């Protein structure tokens, strides 16, 4: 009873709307699922069950490919598990550190091959979980891996969520400066969802702002009075590039183009693809 009570209590953490939780079937299933994932994750990494897919980012003006984002999937017993089912858990148990480094290395391997095959390789972004920020020198491992594949760090973009920069116990500004000093470019991911202040934004050494897809979902396409518009104005003022995420329809494309956004990432152009398919895609669309 005590251990079940502890588990129920853990469910209330970080929730502001309620301060109690009653142990129930839903929680029991969730915990069983989490235990299964935790007991199989290390083996899964060794057995190469994690696959990296690539989703293109398209230049708004030319409609040609301008970059890509690497997104991980877990192929477990013939089924594909989406990242929202395991990333939050891996962030809790820190396994995300291993997984992110694995994804980064897989991307470096692919880029090294593409560079030999093609004159042009799209700039690829890799997600870096905020969990890494707990170790001030984490970026050294990334530099080592890039070096191992003879890649310049300038050829790689790291996506860091806005929420990573608001934790007061971590000197995220120093970490970001260090990442930039090592040569990587930095995209601020899920912008608009993490409550960073405008003054912080001004001092942050970032190259790109990725506007979260909730804003395109909520936008009134017939009005200039929307948040995307204001984020665009701030970005232009700061001299950073913008990517709008989650663009699915022609109407949304026209809207985003009118606002002067630089890049578009969304199902309208393409979902994330297996690397062979992506290679074919970019060799045709450049």
Stretch that binds ligand C2E, among 21-29, 58-66, 76-84, 146-154 (CB under 6 A): 76-84
What residues form DSSP beta bridges with 158? Answer: 126, 186
58 binds ligand C2E (CB under 6 A): no
Q: Enumerate binding residues for Ca ion (CB under 5 A).
A: 127, 159, 189-190
232 binds ligand C2E (CB under 6 A): no
Exposure on the CB side of residue 278, measured as CA atoms within 13 A: 25
- Contacts of residue 124, defined as CB under 8 A and 6 or more positions apart, other chains included, come to 54, 67, 68, 69, 70, 107, 111, 156, 157
Residue 16, class by beta-carbon neighbours within 10 Å (0-12 exposed, 13-18 middle, 19+ buried)? exposed
267 binds ligand C2E (CB under 6 A): yes
Nearer CB in complex with ligand C2E: 213/241? 213
Residue with tokens 């578009």: 264
Nearer CB in complex with ligand C2E: 58/96? 96
Nearer CB in complex with ligand C2E: 114/269? 269
Stretch that binds ligand C2E, among 5-13, 83-91, 148-156, 278-286 (CB under 6 A): 83-91
Nearer CB in complex with ligand C2E: 118/267? 267
Least Cβ distance, residue 21 to ligand C2E (angstroms)? 25
Phi, psi of 33, rounded to the nearest 5 degrees: -60, -45
Least Cβ distance, residue 209 to Ca ion (angstroms)? 11
- Six-digit token string for 244: 């709008």
- Six-digit token string for 169: 């116990």
Residue with tokens 């209590």: 9
Residue with tokens 């020198």: 137
272 binds ligand C2E (CB under 6 A): yes
Gap between the Cα atoms of 170 and 173, Å rounded: 9
Taking residues 141 to 180 in sequence order and writing x for each that binds ligand C2E by CB under 6 A, - otherwise, the string is: ----------------------------------------
The H or E element that residue 159 is part of is strand 156-161
Nearer CB in complex with ligand C2E: 240/256? 256
103 binds ligand C2E (CB under 6 A): yes
Nearer CB in complex with Ca ion: 157/190? 190
| Start-to-end CA span in the chain (Å) | 61
User: Binding residues for ligand C2E, per CB under 6 A?
Assistant: 55, 71-72, 82-84, 87, 96, 100, 103, 127, 129, 189-190, 213, 245-248, 265-267, 272
């Amino acid at each position: 009873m005590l251990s079940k009570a502890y588990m129920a209590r853990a469910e209330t953490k970080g929730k502001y709307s309620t301060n109690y939780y009653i142990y129930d079937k839903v929680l029991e299933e969730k915990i069983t699922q989490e235990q299964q994932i935790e007991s199989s994750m290390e083996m899964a990494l060794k057995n190469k069950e994690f696959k990296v897919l690539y989703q293109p980012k398209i230049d708004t003006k030319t409609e040609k490919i301008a970059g890509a984002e690497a997104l991980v999937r877990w192929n477990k017993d013939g089924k594909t598990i989406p990242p929202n089912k395991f990333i939050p858990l891996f962030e809790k148990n820190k396994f995300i550190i291993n997984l992110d480094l694995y994804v980064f290395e897989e991307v470096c391997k692919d880029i090294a091959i593409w560079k030999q095959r093609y004159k042009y390789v799209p700039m690829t972004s890799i997600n870096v979980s905020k969990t890494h920020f707990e170790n001030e020198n984490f970026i050294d491992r990334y530099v080592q891996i890039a070096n191992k594949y003879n890649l310049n760090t300038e050829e790689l973009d790291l996506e860091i969520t806005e929420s990573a920069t608001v934790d007061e116990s971590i000197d995220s500004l120093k970490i970001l400066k260090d990442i930039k000093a090592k040569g990587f470019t930095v995209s601020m991911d899920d912008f608009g969802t993490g409550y960073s202040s405008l003054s912080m934004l001004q001092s942050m050494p970032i190259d790109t702002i990725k506007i979260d897809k909730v804003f395109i979902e909520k936008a009134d396409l017939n009005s200039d009075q929307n948040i995307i518009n204001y984020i665009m104005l701030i970005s232009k003022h700061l001299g950073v590039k913008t990517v709008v995420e989650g663009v699915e329809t022609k109407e949304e494309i026209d809207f985003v183009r009118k606002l002067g956004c630089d890049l578009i990432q969304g199902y309208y152009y393409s979902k994330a693809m297996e690397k062979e398919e992506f290679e074919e895609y970019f060799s045709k669309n450049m």
